[in-house]
Structure 1
Amino acid sequence: MDGAVCKDDNGNLFFGSQNGACYFNPEHIIENVQIAPVKITNIKSYDNSNPSSKGTIVPITNNKVELSHQNSTFTISFSVMDFSQTPQVEYAYTMEGLGKTWFETGDENRITFRNLEPGEYTFKVKAKMRNQPWGNKFTSLQIIIAPPIWLTWYAKLLYAILIILILFGILRFYKRKLALESRLNLEHHQHENDQKLNNERLRFYTNITHELRTPLTLILGPLEDLLADKTLSPRQANKISIIRDSANRLLNLINQILEFRKTETENRKLKVGYHNLALLVQEIGIKYKELNQNAEVNIHIQVDTQDTKLYYDHEIITIIIDNLMSNAVKYTPKGDITLTLASNEENGVKYTTISVEDTGHGISKESLNHIFERYYQGKGKYQASGSGIGLALVKSLADLHQATIEVESEVEKGSKFTLKLITENTYPNAEHQVVKEVHKSEENNEQTISIETEDGKPIILIVEDNRDIREYVRSSFEEMYEVLTAADGKEGWDIAQNQIPNIIISDIMMPVMDGIELCRHIKEDMRTSHIPVILLTAKDTLQDKEEGYAAGADSFITKPFSARLLNSRINNILENRRKTAGVITSIPETESEQENIENERKNLNKLDQEFLDKVTAIIEENLCMEKMDVAFIADKMCMSHSTLYRKIKGLTEMTVNEYVRKIKMKKGMELINEGKYSLAEISDLTGFSSVAYFRQCFKDEYGMAPTEYLKRKQN
């Protein structure tokens, strides 16, 4: 009936009513059916590198599956245990590790996961009957995908250790780098300080040497003068000679100390030139032959060829040979000493050898290996007193010259030292220079030259800060010259400008203004540029000489020196100036004479050339002026009368009036050669007061009257 309720015995409604009749309701039957539990039936894994493979069933152990990283693609199959419920079952799953969301698959009971990352996952699946709500019951499966070996925990530990080690290494490297940079900076500063200290030491040694050479000058100079005195008795001369020899030994020792210090501090630089080594060897050998006072010792010089040209440092080779020869003389009381220059070839390399062989006491085997060590002195019975630096200096200089020094010796039979130079060595890293040398022939010329000044005597200016040397030079020359003195370069420059001396002798190392600067001032001023300058120096090196020659110095004399040597040098310089003056003021008659005059003028200082050109131009522009005196030319040149007078006298060996007349005569000769003018016209054009005076001057200049000159020319 309508409205009737149909229930079962438990009170559950499973019948419906319609029109009062009950009928069966199947939905009510399904709701009361329990869903069977879900079971994971199998897992099939696939190789990632071969997706088309059929796959491999993976066993499930204790609800856990382990897969390798190469099999991270797999399919999970699951199903309820009651197959009768299968058509009405729906599934849902989640994969913890990828997310927590549940995904419904409907009646699909197979899920595929592709390329999962290594790690641990939990697969959960649950089921429900269609139209039923989802319950809380699920089945889970733990899935472990093993990482590759490079992602395992021990690999990561190794990575961590490596990273730590790398970081540690980087930090340590950076720390060492900072420490190294700090050390390099410290060493750089220390090197700079050492260099400064070495320079100061070298400067100190140089100054000390200078100070020691100054009193030696006052010892050796007067000794040389005394020995030249023929009135001395032989006994007195012998004593003075002993004193001189001792002073020379002291001087040589001072020079050795300075040279040794230079090589020790690496301040000595190699400066080579292409010269004939045979000449140097012969020169040194002859010197020792002349100085040899032992009649029982014979010194021989053997030179294979007189033309042995190669690159070498003149100063270094001289020092080496001097040391070897002096040692040979010292240890050879009787016998022979042979200085040899030879050439040979070893292993295809050409060598030039310099050897010093003696028949003296020789060197013991114990000492032979130590003789080149600094300050070493043998203990033999023939050991002479010495500083022990001579052969050490020789070895240092030989190494600097890229040469080798060898020694052969036998006790009581003698020794042989051999210096080997590579003949074809051009020394690309050395300084190549042509050194302006002063020939020793200058020292032997003692002719006194008189260049007359207004006062009748040549004027010499001595610039020296040491009063004793200044007085020694002044007293030595006061009879022949008018001697002016100055205590420093500044005072000397003031005197040179006011007095215009004929020659200046200056020390280099002086307060206020040194000799190099004084020389530069003199050569760069037109009033004084013609004055020859001789520099006195205790620094006898090529570098010092080059600096002096660059400043315009005419000559160098090394302290200590004798008055005779200085006088000889002065005479040579003044004689050369006199010859040059005679050439440049002569009137040429041929083209070769004209060329010779032009060459001599080129040898003059540039300022001196300009001076002569200006004076000559002033005279020629005012040629017809009858009274052209010193005052007129000095006013045109903006110079004082005395300065002009001394300048012209120093350059031409003529007074101003003589030079004016010389220019006028030269112009008169040119006018006569033209043949356009009479003698009276030429006399007027050249500024002579009368024809008779012109004839007289012409005859004085050329040795014949103008008419006689014309006749000779016509013939």
Structure 2
Amino acid sequence: NETEISLINKESVRLKHLQNNFNISFSIQDYSLNERVEYAYMLKGLENSWYTVKDPNNVTFRNLPPGKYEFMIKTRIRNQEWSDEISAIEIIIAPPLWLSWWAKLLYVIIGIGLLFIGLWAYKRKLNLEYLYESEKKSHEQEQELNDERLRFYTNITHELRTPLTLILGPLEDLVKSNTLSSKDHHRISVIHQSAVRLLNLINQILDFRKTETQNKRLCVTKGNLTNTVYEVGLKYKELNSKSDIQILIEAEEENMFLFFDKEIITMILDNLISNALKYTDKGYIRIRAEWVTENGIRYAQLSVEDTGYGIGKEALAHIFERYYQESGEHQASGTGIGLALVKNLVKLHEGDIQVKSLPDVGTTFYLRLLAENTYPQALHGEDMHTEKQDAKEEDSTLKLEAIEPDKNARPIILVVEDNADIRDYIADSFTDLYEIKTAANGKEGLQIATDCIPDIIVSDIMMPVMNGIIMCQKLKSDIRTSHIPVILLTAKDSITDKEEGYQAGADSYLTKPFSAGLLQSRISNLLTQRRLLSERFAIRPDKPKKQSMEEKRAIITESMNKLDKEFLDKITNTITEGLAAAENIDITVLSNVMCMSSSTLYRKVKALTGMSTNEYIRKIKMQLAEKYLLEGKYSISEIAFKVGINSNVYFRQCFKEEFGMSASDYLKQLTGKSIDEKVDE
């Protein structure tokens, strides 16, 4: 739409922001001069230059931005000077609404507001970061403090296990003794029970440390949960000394089969039941096992309910925190880690624990385990074969007959222990049965072991200079000492620690504190096993069998470790190859081949075969003689010569000692033919 505005007698004109395209027409009042007049204009505010206008007498402006302009125009008669008289009019183009002054003011206010908000948010962010860092640092310091506290507890408990060995060991010996009066026996029993309680407290701290550092591993087997509940419950039922408290054991089913770690479940129940007994004066403690289903998921639920003092509402949220103990008139003494240990064990077992309690009414703890959980990441029963073997051995204390040591050549036991008291205790306990040698660390023990080749080694693990694990590895990798049974002693009894010991080649594992009787059982068992193995070499066959030397030796050595088998194979091959080359084979030759002294070779061969080196050489000669005899190509004299025996009489004597009959009878029983008949063929 076009709009005309008269500018006559006006000093200014105001246009809207959309009226920024316009045309200005101008003329002089004397129309007679209209054809002779020239015009020049300038739009001040847009350009500060004069422009001459030719016909027609108007000028057009397009798309002028909002603002204030001054249109100026002057005239002249053609070819004359420009007039000094200038006509001017002010043109104002209003800005759009969003560019008006009050809109700009609003923008400024908003900008300032946003700036303040930004500064406030930035300051808040800095404060939050500072609080987060402070909280993180505080948490780290708290964690470091707790770790340091736990490390301190762990080190103290490890140190306590050593004197506990010297307390519990002799106490157990005294309890089993028949020389005490009934009064003294009762006193010793009280002391022994207190020492056992102290050991249980130490074990609890160690178990808590293991769960805190993720060193405790879950080992599940599929078993009857009801049996475990009854085992634990009946133990407390029998030991309950409070006549006003009744211990009830209930199970929904006699057989509740699922995968679970019996040790962990027992520890959880032990803590919950002992807590219940501690805070209950009268009433009952009910231990219950049942199946529950929630949201379509089936659980095995264990509950421990008591009618004790109960737990306050404020304390209920903190009872599973470590070192937390509710302050109150009924608070009993303790470490404050029992329920924290329970929480960690439940988490390790992938279960859930809840508690309900009312003051002066009672408390109930509920433990739930998934019924169908197979724990694929955990150790399973078959992985614990070694530990089970140890457990069986521990339960069968002194069932195997102790080896009756030869008065002239008693078995040598090497005791490697940095604690002089423990070392002396073991030495004093066995000095009547065995020849005892001692060492204060692994390096010294390794040197003594290679020098004297003991029959068995009892070693601590944590020692200066060289620990027991490294010493065991070196012993088992040295052909001179690889056959020696090693019993490791330690205060660390986790599955991981035991695995480390067995991987190092240990034959048995004993946890401190231990009794002399249990150690004697382990030593006797291992020496008996070694004796039975060596006796297999000396077994005389009931009747001749068509077996090669290699087959016989393979059967006998199948249970030996790799190094010992290689040792015997090398000795046997050296003897057979030497005899085949008509060489004289004796101890000196074998010592040079095996790079051992004659005494070391003797003790090694004796330990593995139960025979002296000369006896073993003779045995191999007789086995070769048997081979030549069965081939049927040689006479007695030829066979004797081929096995390095020049005397036929001595050969017949040796053959009869080895096989229980003469060579001709042996062959006749096996083939039905005499040696002369075989030779004639």
Q: TM-score, normalised by structure 1?
A: 0.78
Instruction: Return the match for 1:440 from 369, 376, 391.
Output: 391
Correspondence for 1:57 = 4
Aligned to 1:105: 53
Give the residue type in structure 1 aligned to 2:221.
Answer: H
- Compared CA separation, residues 344 and 459, structure 1 to 2 (3 A): farther
Letter in 1 for 2:647: S
2:452 aligned with 1:499, yes or no? yes
What is the CA distance between 1:550 and its match in structure 2? 2.8
Report the alpha carbon displacement of residue 421 of structure 1 after superposing the two structures with TM. 1.5
Residues 1:659 and 2:659 aligned together: no
Change in CA separation of 1:293 and 1:190 when aligned onto 2, cut-off 3 Å: closer
Match of 2:440 among 487, 490, 495: 487
Q: Which residue of 2 aligns with 1:5?
A: none
Counterpart CA distance in 2 for 1:630 and 1:287 is: 64
Give yes or no for contact 1:534–1:556 (8 Å, CA) kept in 2: yes
User: What SS does structure 2 have at the residue aligned with 1:112?
Assistant: strand
Tell whether 2:579 aligns with 1:614: no
Note if 1:134 corresponds to 2:88. no
CA distance, structure 1, for counterparts of residue 650 and residue 131 of structure 2: 89
Residue identity matched to 1:57: E
Separation in structure 1 between the aligned mates of residue 632 and residue 86 of structure 2, nearest angstrom:
147
One-letter identity of the residue aligned with 1:653: G
2:257 to 308, 312, 315: 308
For 1:475 and 1:319, locate their aligned partners in 2 and report how far apart those are by CA, in whole Å.
36
- The amino acid of 1:390's aligned partner reads G
Instruction: Name 1:472's counterpart in structure 2.
Output: 425
Residue of structure 2 in register with 1:18 after alignment: none
8 Å Cα contact 1:278-1:303 kept in structure 2: no
Q: Deviations over 1:454-478 (max 9, x none)?
A: 9611111112222222111111111
Separation in 2, partners of 1:152, 1:593: 115
> Partners of 1:283 and 1:472 in 2: how far apart?
39
Distance 1:248 1:209 in 2: 14
Could you say which residue in structure 1 is the equivalent of 2:213? 267
Contact 1:352 1:423 survives alignment (8 Å): yes
Per the alignment, residue 125 of structure 1 pairs with 73
Residue 38 of structure 2 contacts residue 54 of structure 2 at CA under 8 Å; is this kept in 1?
yes
Going from structure 1 to structure 2, the CA distance change for 1:377 and 1:669 (only over 3 Å counts) comes to: farther
Query: 1:634 is matched with which residue: 585, 591, 597?
Result: 591
Q: Does 1:708 align with 2:659?
A: no
Deviates more, 1:179-188 or 1:536-545: 179-188
8 A contact 2:602–2:612 mirrored in 1: yes
Q: Secondary structure at the match of 2:403?
A: coil
2:677 is matched with which residue? Answer: none
SS in 2 for 1:66: strand
Residue identity matched to 1:469: I
CA–CA separation in structure 2 for the residues paired with 1:590 and 1:407: 72
**Kept after mapping to 2: 8 A contact 1:626/1:688:** no
Distance in 2 between the 1:516 and 1:404 partners? Answer: 38
Is the 8 Å Cα contact of residues 397 and 517 (structure 2) preserved in structure 1? no
The answer on whether the counterparts of 1:376 and 1:389 sit within 8 Å (CA) in structure 2 is no
Contact 2:228 2:262 in 1 (8 A): no
Q: For the Cα contact (< 8 Å) 1:450–1:458, is it kept in 2?
A: no
Q: Please, which runs of 5 or more residues in structure 2 have no aligned partner?
A: 673-681
- With 95-104 and 605-614 compared, the bigger mean Cα shift is at 605-614
In 2, are the aligned partners of 1:497 and 1:527 still within 8 Å (CA)?
yes
| Match for residue 363 of structure 1 among 308, 311, 317 | 308
Mean Cα deviation higher: 404-413 or 276-285: 404-413
Per-residue deviation, 1:355: 5.2
CA contact (8 A) 2:578 2:584 kept: no
Quick one: structure 1 residues 189 and 391, their matched pair in 2 at CA, closer, same or farther if it must change by over 3 Å? closer
Q: Residue type matched to 1:710 in 2?
A: L
1:127-151 CA distance string (max 9 Å, x none): 2222322112222222223334444
Match of 1:215 in 2: 163
- The answer on whether the counterparts of 2:42 and 2:50 sit within 8 Å (CA) in structure 1 is yes
Query: Which protein, 1 or 2, shows the higher relative CO under an 8 Å CA cutoff with sep ≥ 6?
Result: 2
Cα distance per residue 1:443-494 (max 9 Å; x no partner):
2241344397996111111122222221111111111111111222232222
Matched, 1:561 2:514: yes
CA distance, structure 2, for counterparts of residue 236 and residue 711 of structure 1: 71
| Change in 2 beyond 3 A, CA 1:365/1:330 | closer
Change (3 A) 1:343 1:442: farther
What does residue 570 of structure 1 align with? 523
Post-superposition offset of 1:293: 5.9
Kindly provide the CA deviation profile for residues 327-381 of structure 1, in whole angstroms up to 9, marking residues without a partner as x. Answer: 5777899999887665554432232344567xxx83134569757674348756x
Pairs within 5 Å for 1:523-538 = 523-538=476-491
Match of 1:12 in 2: none
Distance 1:640 1:68, change over 3 A: farther
Which has more radius of gyration? 1
- How far does residue 222 in structure 1 lie from its aligned partner after superposition? 0.7
For the 8 Å contact 2:40–2:75, the answer to whether it is kept is yes
Give, in angstroms, the shift of residue 676 of structure 1.
3.8
Q: CA RMSD in A?
A: 4.4
Seen in structure 2, the aligned counterparts of structure 1 residues 656 and 184 have a Cα distance that, compared at 3 Å, is: farther
Whether the 8 Å CA contact 1:277–1:309 is kept in 2: the answer is yes
Which amino acid counterpart does residue 69 of structure 2 have in structure 1?
A: Y
Distance 1:453 1:232, change over 3 A: closer
Offset of residue 245 of structure 1: 0.8
Quickly say closer, same or farther: Cα 1:478–1:136, change in 2 above 3 A.
Answer: same
Aligned length: 654
What is the CA distance between 1:557 and its match in structure 2? 1.6
Equivalent residue letter for 1:709: Y
C-alpha distance in 2, partners of 1:554/1:386? Answer: 38
| Equivalent AA in structure 2 for residue 712 of structure 1 | Q
How far does residue 564 in structure 1 lie from its aligned partner after superposition? 0.6
Alpha-carbon displacement from aligned partner over 1:586-638 (angstroms, at most 9, x marks no partner): 79968999999869856644433433333333223223567533332121111
Q: Structure 1 CA distance, aligned partners of 2:550 and 2:256?
A: 36
> For the Cα contact (< 8 Å) 1:488–1:514, is it kept in 2?
yes
Equivalents in 2 of 1:598, 1:58: separation in Å?
126
Q: Residue 390 and residue 200 in structure 1: after superposition, are their counterparts in 2 closer, same or farther (change >3 A)?
A: closer
Contact kept? 1:91, 1:128, Cα under 8 Å? yes
Q: For the Cα contact (< 8 Å) 1:94–1:100, is it kept in 2?
A: yes
CA drift at 1:77: 1.6
Structure 2 equivalent of residue 276 of structure 1: 222
Q: What is the identity percentage for the equivalent residue pairs of Structure 1 and Structure 2?
A: 50
Q: CA shift at 1:558, angstroms?
A: 1.7
- In 2, Cα distance between equivalents of 1:462 and 1:97: 109
Question: Does residue 232 of structure 1 match 2:189?
Answer: no
Structure 2 CA distance for aligned equivalents of residues 276 and 512 of structure 1: 44
Q: Deviations over 1:3-50 (max 9, x none)?
A: xxxxxxxxxxxxxxxxxxxxxxxxxxxxxxxxxxxxxxxxxxxxxxxx
**Contact 2:42/2:71, CA 8 A, preserved across alignment:** yes
